[in-house]
């Protein structure tokens, strides 16, 4: 059996965007019978929410789409750069921070989560209302389908 593809999603606090991407990718992979071929996780560049579950608005959005909520917030660690094959940042600020942190031999693993679609940023919905979380879901939904296509082709 080959090694799983290891995917890490990263945002600022790991309670909104990256746990949504984590849960959504796990759900998509499970539906396609590919869960065993992947290892998925998420983290934040900051430690403010370490140990907390995803934001209630993230949970509500996931549940509204039939996606199980997973994980607790954690901060990115030096080991993550070695362990993961793809490290997908939600925005350019976190992308830049990850690139500064990464050993040079692992810098090629880091990209924006929306790279296969718009190439833009996943907006941070934390200070907005529930509509922002739905927008994040839609952006990730499309991008993750394309990432799965790349990883499985």
Report the catalytic residues: 11, 17, 124
Q: What is the DSSP string of 13-54?
A: SSSSHHHHHHHHHHHHHHHTT-GGGEEEEEEESS-TTTTPPP
Of 3, 4, 2, 7, the C-alpha closest to 84 is 7
> What whole-number distance in Å separates Cα of residue 100 and Cα of residue 86?
16
Q: Give me the count of residues in the chain.
A: 153
Structure tokens given for 66? 């039939």
Contact 6, 83 (CB under 8 A): yes
């Amino acid at each position: 059996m080959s090694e799983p593809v290891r995917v890490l999603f990263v945002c600022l606090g790991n309670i909104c965007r990256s746990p949504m991407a984590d849960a959504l990718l796990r759900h998509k992979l499970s539906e396609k019978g590919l869960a065993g071929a992947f290892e998925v996780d998420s983290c934040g560049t900051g430690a403010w929410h370490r140990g907390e579950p995803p934001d209630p608005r993230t949970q509500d959005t996931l549940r509204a789409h039939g996606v199980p909520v997973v994980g607790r917030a954690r901060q990115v660690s030096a080991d993550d750069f070695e362990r993961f094959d793809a490290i997908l940042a939600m925005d350019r600020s976190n992308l830049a921070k990850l690139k500064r942190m990464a050993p040079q031999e692992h810098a090629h693993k880091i990209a924006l989560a929306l790279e296969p679609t718009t190439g833009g940023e996943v907006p941070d919905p934390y200070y907005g209302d529930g509509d922002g979380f739905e927008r994040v879901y839609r952006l990730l939904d499309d991008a993750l389908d394309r990432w799965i296509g790349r990883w499985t082709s």
